[in-house]
């Protein structure tokens, strides 16, 4: 059951909006510029008809799968989103516990309010028979600090590094500019708080302080050769997040990535970039099973997950709905969001004649 009797994620977002400060709600909800891509991400899934099969025995269903070799109870993962302590006091610990309890992977953002060591310890990961935490990486201009962060994530037990490649600068989110977005006193980028001022996103700009942080600290010269650099500093599999083109997906294969995540950052970077539902199929075709393809952006219903699997995704990642769960019910709220997705996917698979995830083949979406 979702918090406060919400029936679906749209209703939950309304409840979250009432709980959050206007600045935090806008930071979570917003997209870049006209927010065209933000809206299209959701709309494009809904436009894909599901050509269901009939008279298939669906009395038992199996939603489980694996991602990068790790067993998960369902093909629904938690996307990396920054600053969970804007939503609830326990922040990323609540998210990690919720994901572990639901048997799935949480991808922790570089920009978390909780250290990667503490998040990995909160779930105990594979050692406790639970899926690992993955670590999302932003590459700083300070490469030594970046490599040290990767080493910490690996030592803490993270199962993969997710390299975000769609943010050489922060997309302009006008709601954040208007609100002069910054972290309230006491909240920091904890992973970097030991390194000079890399932990500080407090008010320092009359626009978005996060945009200023990105411009100053993160490395806009990042290029394909840095995938090799990253692979040279970690033994963990590297997933490249932020791909919307088949040729870039092929480059990721050529550069040794273990997975690509088809993503436009939830419509927060280049406004006008394609909805992920429209590019997933061609990207999966280009990669042809050589590496895993994951997708995020606008997944709001179990049927969207089924559509994504049918187009060739191994799993989806969920961004904002998890934040709405945290804001309205902390760990239990985030867990309820995941179990709502599980319930809806199970029902969609039942109605579509798909007893297991491998039955979600391309013909389902026409
Ligand atoms: C509030 C917020 C913060 C985010 N922070 C990060 C981040 O730190 N790193 C990253 O790679 N992606 C980040 N993203 C993008 C998400 O990982 C994901 O691509 C996107 O939210 C998926 O779309 P959805 O929110 O429509 O599910 C963020 C998204 C939101 C909404």
Q: For 290, phi and psi rounded to 5 degrees? A: -70, -35
Ligand 1: centre distance to CA 63 (Å):
24
Rg (Cα) of the chain, in Å, rounded? 19
User: For the residues 126-137, what does the mean pLDDT come to?
Assistant: 94
- By percentage, how much of the chain surpasses pLDDT 70? 100
Verify whether residue 182 is a known catalytic residue. no
Q: What is the pLDDT of residues 54-101, one digit of tens each?
A: 999 999 999 999 999 999 999 999 999 999 999 999 999 999 999 999
**Residue 59 Cα to ligand 1 middle (Å):** 36
Binding pocket residue ranges, ligand 1, CB within 6 Å = 27-28, 41, 79-82, 109, 111, 136, 164, 241, 263, 265-266, 268, 296-299, 318-320
Catalytic residue among 51, 182, 255, 265: 265
What are the residue boundaries of the structural domains of the chain, listed by start?
3-354
Closest atom of ligand 1 to CA, residue 261: 19
Is the CB of residue 350 less than 8 Å from the CB of residue 57? no
Per-residue pLDDT reduced to its tens digit, 248-306: 999 999 999 999 999 999 999 999 999 999 999 999 999 999 999 999 999 999 999 99
**Of all protein residues, whose CA lies closest to atom 19 belonging to ligand 1?**
265
Ligand 1 centroid – CA 164 distance (Å): 10
Q: Name the nearest CA neighbour of 226 among 314, 293, 137.
A: 137
| Tens-place pLDDT, residues 331-341 | 999 999 999 99
Query: Counting beta carbons within 10 angstroms of the beta carbon of residue 332, is it exposed (0 to 12), middle (13 to 18) or buried (19 or more)?
Result: middle
Q: How confident is the model at residue 127 (pLDDT cuts 50, 70, 90)?
A: confident
Residue nearest to atom 28 of ligand 1 (CA): 81
Structure token pair of residue 237: 């599999």
**Which atom of ligand 1 lies closest to the CA of 323?**
1
Q: What CATH class does 3-354 carry?
A: alpha beta
């Amino acid at each position: 059951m979702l918090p406060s009797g919400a029936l679906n994620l749209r209703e939950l977002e309304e409840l979250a909006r009432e709980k959050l400060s206007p600045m935090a709600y806008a930071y979570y909800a917003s997209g870049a510029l006209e927010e065209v891509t933000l809206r299209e991400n959701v709309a494009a899934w809904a436009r894909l008809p599901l050509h269901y099969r009939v008279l298939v025995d669906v009395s038992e269903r199996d939603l489980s799968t694996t991602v990068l070799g790790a067993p998960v109870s369902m093909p629904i993962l938690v996307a990396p989103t920054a600053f969970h302590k804007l939503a609830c006091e326990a922040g990323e610990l609540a998210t990690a516990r919720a994901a572990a309890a639901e048997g799935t992977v949480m991808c922790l953002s570089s920009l978390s309010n909780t250290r990667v060591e503490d998040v990995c310890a909160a779930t105990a990961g594979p050692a406790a028979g639970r899926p690992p935490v993955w670590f999302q990486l932003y590459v700083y201009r300070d490469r030594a600090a970046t490599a040290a962060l990767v080493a910490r994530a690996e030592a803490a037990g993270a199962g993969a590094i997710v390299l975000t490649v769609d943010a050489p600068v922060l997309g302009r989110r006008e709601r954040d500019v208007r609100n002069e977005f910054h972290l309230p006193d006491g909240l920091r980028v904890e992973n970097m708080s030991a390194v000079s001022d890399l932990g500080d996103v407090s008010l320092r700009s009359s626009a978005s302080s996060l945009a200023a942080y990105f411009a100053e600290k993160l490395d806009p010269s990042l290029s394909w050769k840095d995938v090799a650099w990253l692979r040279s500093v970690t033994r963990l599999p590297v997933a490249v997040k932020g791909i919307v083109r088949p040729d870039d997906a092929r480059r990721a294969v050529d550069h040794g990535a273990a997975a690509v995540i088809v993503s436009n950052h939830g419509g927060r970077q280049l406004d006008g970039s394609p909805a992920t539902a429209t590019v997933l199929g061609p990207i999966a075709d280009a990669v042809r099973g050589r590496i895993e393809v994951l997708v995020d952006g606008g997944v709001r219903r179990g049927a969207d997950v089924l559509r994504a699997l049918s187009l060739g995704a191994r799993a989806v990642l969920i961004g904002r709905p998890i934040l709405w769960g945290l804001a309205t019910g902390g760990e239990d709220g985030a867990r309820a969001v995941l179990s709502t997705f599980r319930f809806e996917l199970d029902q969609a698979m039942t109605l579509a004649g798909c007893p297991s995830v491998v039955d979600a083949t391309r013909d389902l979406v026409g």
